[in-house]
Every structure is written in C-alpha cells, then in structure tokens.
C-alpha cells in the first residue's frame, strides 16, 4: 500500500518509492561514499557497528574485505547474515543525505566469485596487489557480499504542529529501480 509518511507507518513515505529524483538521490549517495557503517548483532542480540570500505555492483550488492574473526564477521555467522547498512554525508548547508539498506551478507566462499568482487574493491581506490588466495582458503580474510532487501533515503523533515520539533522521515526506495 502506497502512503505518505505518518506516525502510523513510522514516518516512512512509500508514495515516492519509484520517483526518479529519489532513485537518483539514492544512487548518488552510494556513488559518493567509500565507507559505510555495518550494523550487526550477535546471536544473543548484542549490537555492533563497523565502518568498512566498500564497493558495489550494478545490482547494488555491496562488497567489503574483513577478517574472519572481526566482531561483525562473527555476528554475520551467528545471526543468519542479517545486517543493516548506513551511508550518509553532510552537505555544506548542514543538510544530511542518508541511505539506509537492510539485507543479508556473508563471506564469499567460491573462488570464482571472489575475483570479480576483488576487482570492484581495487578499482574504487589506488590499485593494491591482491590475489584470490588473499581472501580464500587458509587466509584470515574474506570478501563479504551484501544483498539488499530493503532501501530508504533520508526524507524531508515534517512539521507536525510543533515548528521547533519537526520529525525526520524516510522514503522507501523501490530496489527494482536501482539497477
């Protein structure tokens, strides 16, 4: 059901999910950021957030490299891969641009999938000499793959009758429009 942002739907606008300006806003946030914040939880529910350098493909799948024993990597192993991802920036006028993603992630274990992900990561910054063996087998590091299931961008603040206390909103993004 498409609806405007209200308290009943936790201030999430779904009317503009396919709006080209909203899609472009989400795309530009992804392109402008080189780091994202992963939010994971342990099996017992202990939260953890980690900034990671990332790359992405044309389906908006994210990739990052981490050690297997990193707390966020361990959390992914024990919580079914559930993770939320935040990307944001503050504009010169102090306005905020934010992209929120929810989905699942895990380590790439197939060597044929590691190389294309490794190329994406290396191509976002200065080239680094890496091989598939740096992320596979006995290596303590893996490349992780995130598949988004839901996405939102930071929406306009709404005046709900208290001009000094507007509420923040989000606009849900139709993932099918992103590729």
For the chain, domains (ranges, CATH) are: 7-177 (2.30.110.10)
For 106-118, write each residue's pLDDT tens digit.
Answer: 999 999 999 999 9
Name which residue leads in pLDDT, 120 or 124: 120
**Strands in the chain per DSSP E:** 12-13, 35-41, 47-53, 55-56, 62-67, 82-90, 96-107, 141-154, 170-173
Q: What is the pLDDT of residue 128?
A: 73
Q: What is the pLDDT of residue 106?
A: 98
Q: Please report, rounded to a whole number, the percentage of residues in the chain having pLDDT higher than 90.
A: 80
For every residue of 144-179, DSSP letters joined together read EEEEEEEEEEE---B-SS-TTS-B--EEEE-GGG--
Q: Please report, rounded to a whole number, the percentage of residues in the chain having pLDDT higher than 70.
A: 98
Q: What is the pLDDT of residue 164?
A: 74
Going by C-alpha positions, the residue among 142, 147, 148, 149 that lies closest to residue 73 is 142
Q: What is the pLDDT of residue 126?
A: 66
The confidence band for 60, taking pLDDT boundaries of 50, 70 and 90, is very high
Q: What is the pLDDT of residue 40?
A: 98
The Cα 122–Cα 178 span in angstroms is 23
Name which residue leads in pLDDT, 160 or 145: 145
Name which residue leads in pLDDT, 151 or 94: 151
The confidence band for 70, taking pLDDT boundaries of 50, 70 and 90, is very high
For 17-31, write each residue's pLDDT tens digit.
Answer: 999 999 999 999 999
Sign of CA dihedral 48, 41, 150, 64: positive
**How much is the average pLDDT of 35-57?**
97
């Amino acid at each position: 059901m498409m609806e405007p942002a209200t308290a009943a739907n936790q201030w999430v606008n779904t009317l503009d999910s396919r709006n080209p300006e909203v899609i472009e806003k989400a795309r530009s946030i992804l392109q402008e950021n080189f780091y994202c914040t992963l939010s994971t939880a342990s099996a017992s529910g202990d939260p953890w957030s980690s900034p990671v350098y990332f790359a992405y493909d044309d389906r908006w799948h994210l990739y990052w490299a981490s050690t297997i024993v990193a707390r966020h990597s361990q959390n992914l192993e024990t919580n079914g891969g559930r993770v939320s991802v935040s990307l944001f920036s503050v504009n010169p006028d102090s306005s905020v641009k934010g992209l929120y993603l929810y989905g699942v992630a895990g380590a790439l274990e197939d060597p044929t999938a590691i190389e294309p992900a490794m190329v994406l990561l290396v191509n976002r910054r200065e080239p680094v000499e890496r091989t598939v063996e740096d992320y596979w087998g006995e290596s303590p590091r893996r490349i992780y793959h995130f598949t988004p299931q839901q996405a939102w961008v930071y929406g306009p603040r709404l005046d709900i009758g208290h001009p000094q206390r507007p509420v923040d909103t989000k606009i849900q993004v139709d993932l099918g429009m992103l590729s």
